[in-house]
Every structure is written in C-alpha cells, then in structure tokens.
Amino acid sequence: MAIITNKFLLSRKLYIKTSVNSTLKRMKKSFIALVVIYIAILSFSYWGFEKYGNWKILEAWIPFMIILPLLYIWMIYFSPIYIAKSKLNKNDFDNGYYEITDEDFTYYRDDGSITKRPFRSITRIMTGEDYFIFWENLISIYILPHSAFKSDEDIKKMHSILSKYNGST
C-alpha cells in the first residue's frame, strides 16, 4: 500500500535548517577528532617549547589550526545557504507531494515534472526529529518533512519501509 503525502513546499529556510541539522549530526565524530588533533598539536608544541625553548613547531601548525575550523563552518552553515540560493536548484523548491511504496518513492511537482527513485539507489538515509533525508549521491538529496504526512501512522509506515533499506531509522 502506497503512502501519499500532502502537497507541501520545500522552502529554502526548511532546506537550510534541515541541512545544517543533518550535517551537525553526521560530523559529531569528526569534530571530536578535530579537538583531539588540536590537543595533540598543542601538547607536541609545548613539548617542543620545553625541549628546545621555542614555539616553531606551533607556528608551523597555526595555518592549519585556523583554516580547518573555517572549513567546518563553511560546510555546516554556509554551504547549505549557497546551495539553496543556487539557480541550478530552483526546481527543488516547488510545491509537490510524494508517493511512497515499499520499493520506491516518486516526487510529483506542480510544474508537472516527476522524479521516481528506487530506495535501493539511495546511498544514505537519515531521520531527524521532523524530517527524512535521502541521499542518492553527494549532490542529489531529497528532504521529506514529517509535516507533509497525513498522519502519524504514515510516518510509522515510512520508518518501517526505510528500516528495510538502511537500518538507520
């Protein structure tokens, strides 16, 4: 039995919020690794200062220690804004609805275009507090907010369908 969602508008604001939340979720481990690397660099530099009496080792790492956090900030906060405002993605922010079966999902847009994808082509599935995200590849993602579903029962069915493919729901 298919799940048919209500018609909804994927707004740029919702896209940015969802992208930031999902990126923060995915990058927790790498952020912890970054902190560990910083502690190691500072400890190694302190050892170098104690042994040789200068901070040259730390000076070599300063550009890395400045650029890497800026890269993280770009990936988490500014990249979704850039993608949402890109003219290439303007069709992603149209009214539409999903039809979801056990094996695939179809996105019907108001402009008449249809996107049908089998769940087996999805490389990653993430569920948030109020959304589902499907990654087909690095640049092709589908965001389905819980508010688009007609009932909580449909959301539970969706979790059941996704658990067959990803196990992450």
Residue 29, domain extent: 17-85
Same domain, 32 and 61: yes
pTM of the model: 0.66
pLDDT digits (tens, 9 = 90+) for 2-40: 888 888 887 778 778 888 887 787 788 888 888 898 888
Q: If you write DSSP's letter for every residue of 63-87 in order, what string do you get?
A: HHHHHHHHHHHIIIIIHHHHHHH-G
pLDDT digits (tens, 9 = 90+) for 105-161: 898 988 888 889 898 888 888 888 888 888 887 667 788 889 899 999 999 999 888
CATH of the domain at 121: 2.30.29.30
Tell me how many domains the chain contains: 2
- Of 30, 58, 85, at which residue does a domain stop? 85
- Examine residue 7 and state whether it is found in any structural domain, yes or no: no
- Examine residue 3 and state whether it is found in any structural domain, yes or no: no
Same domain, 25 and 81: yes
Q: If you write DSSP's letter for every residue of 1-28 in order, what string do you get?
A: --EEPPPEE--HHHHHHHHHHHHHHHTH
- Of 85, 113, 138, at which residue does a domain stop? 85
Q: Tell me the sheet residues that pair with 76.
A: none
